[in-house]
Amino acid sequence: MEYGQFCPIAKASEIIGEKWTILIIRELLMGATRFNELQRGLSLISPTILTKRLNYLVESGLVAKKKIPAQMGYEYFPTQACKELLPVMKLLGDWGMRWARNNMSDNDYDPELLLLYLQRSVQFDKLIGNETVIRFKFTDINDMPDWWLIAKNNEIDVCVKDPGKEVDVYFTCAIKTMIDLWMGDASYRQAVKNGDLKVVGPSAMTKDIFSWLNRSVFADLPAANEIK
């Protein structure tokens, strides 16, 4: 895609303006390196499009592609040029929180993306014991309403099938409620008080879940209509 303009915004758009490209960069900057990790954060992208976009980012100098030692496949890493997009991505997200979050549709409430973000948000040093199992039941989802996070040895896995482990904390709510809480659009205590969220577990972990779970980096931004 070429705009035929010397404007630096136009030249930047030629590289990052294609559909999915900015979200691929988002995932790379958040630590995803393998093809399946990138797909997990971009659930609707086809493997063909993801491959095409990654190859173009490699050609454009934003991504370094490396063979995985003794394995099939490749890993993808952001170059310095890509890393310098981080403040741009943060500003774009700030704008989206202020001006675009009223455009949410039911299709945007993706439990897989939510669990990926929650997985990245857990603060291991604030958990209790060597293993912590957290179960989420989303009351407004028929297909795969139950999800588990299992934190052990500074690693955390997401399961959609019962891992057969003793659960430490249970969350029961609508998917929108959990997303609103993590994004900062709703109060944890108010959600519990109103009955929108039911939490069962030791008080050290349920009194304030954000003592061990980081919220979104955009959580403190007010919407545009709240700014006077």
pLDDT for residue 223: 60
Residues 83 and 150 in one domain: no
User: How far apart are the C-alpha atoms of 18 and 87, rounded to whole Å?
Assistant: 19
Residue 110 structural domain: 106-211
Q: Would 185 be classed as within a structural domain?
A: yes
Q: At what angle do helices 8-16 and 21-29 cross, to 10 degrees?
A: 80
Residue 216 within a domain: no
Position 218 in a domain? no
| Strand pairing class (146-152; 155-159) | antiparallel
**Residue 55 confidence (pLDDT):** 97
Helix residue ranges, H only, 122-227? 175-183, 188-194, 203-206
pTM: 0.88
Q: Quick one: 169 and 93 in the same domain?
A: no
203 shares its domain with 110: yes
- Whether residues 156 and 177 fall in one domain: yes
Q: What is the pLDDT of residue 102?
A: 80
Give me the number of domains the chain comprises. 2
Give the model's pLDDT for residue 90. 96
Q: What is the CATH number of the domain that holds 58?
A: 1.10.10.10
Residue 174: predicted pLDDT: 97
**41 with 73, same domain?**
yes
pLDDT single digits (tens) 1-31:
789 999 999 999 999 999 999 999 999 999 9
pLDDT less than 50: residues of the chain:
228
Place of tokens 């990926």: 116
